Amino acid sequence: MANFCLILAYDGTRYNGWQRQGNTSDTIQEKLENILEHLYGEPVEIHGSGRTDAGVHALRQVANYHVPRMLSRFSCQEIQTYFNQYLPLDIRVLSVSKADSRFHARLSAESKIYEYRIDCGPIANIFNRRYLYRIEEPLNPQKMQEAASYLIGTHDFKSFCANRHMKKSTVRTIYDISFELVDGILYIRYCGDGFLYHMVRILTGTLIEIGMGDLLPTQLPTILESQNRALAGFTAPAQGLFLVEVHYPEAGE
């Protein structure tokens, strides 16, 4: 089997997330698989590095698919051109490359970086409002950064998972959380080995509540230890969230 790796960018505004679903055709995976089926003449399954939620965007999503070698007659450039010819304009294939047969976009990933963008300036940003979460109340980024320090490391993040019936482990490792305020927009970047359902958005909602003074930074250890979703903050809206990058071992890329 030939294995191909794709780097993708997409505006998730009008899509119901990455994963193919039975009740809608508006998913990133289905758009890609439909084009692959036309290209190769048979169904092809594509695997993404993560299942971004409805309304979430990606700057560099990674995906891969296998096809029998007898069907792999197209060059990487031809595959990329074919995708971008037929995909909607809010989905672009940035590159296509051949990958090792064992490479899997999700299972081979070592870490991921997500970024959440908050418009907290004195005047709302009108041109990028579809990609920002607007906060009218003053935020204290220093308090938010203080709180974020409690999240670094390996913890059980069940309090920050929206799936109440999660049967798999909710233990994850966060390597870094950074903050940058530029022209009234607060960028929060999360780097971790993986993230639970809505985890980044709930973490962001919790940090926002701390930044507004509704919670104290020192409450975060208690929220973590409680494993109780009700104690954490609200789920920040999807439009401010971007999958920025996925990291792999050098031999796997």
Catalytic residues, by residue number, are 53
Burial class (CB in 10 A: 0-12, 13-18, 19+), 153: exposed
- According to DSSP, residue 250 is labeled G
Give the integer Cα–Cα distance in Å for 136 and 140.
Answer: 13
Strands 241-247, 57-67: pairing is parallel
> What is the Cα–Cα distance from 253 to 250, expressed in whole angstroms?
6
| Residue 177: φ, ψ to 5° | -130, 120
Q: What's the chain's Rg over C-alpha atoms? A: 19
Between β-strands 171-182 and 185-192, what pairing exists: parallel, antiparallel or unpaired? antiparallel
- Please list, in sequence order, all residues whose beta carbon lies within 8 angstroms of the beta carbon of residue 183, skipping any fewer than 6 positions away: 121
Phi first, then psi, for residue 111 (nearest 5°) are -160, 160
User: How far is it, in rounded angstroms, from Cα 72 to Cα 40?
Assistant: 8
CA pair distance 28, 52, nearest whole angstrom:
9
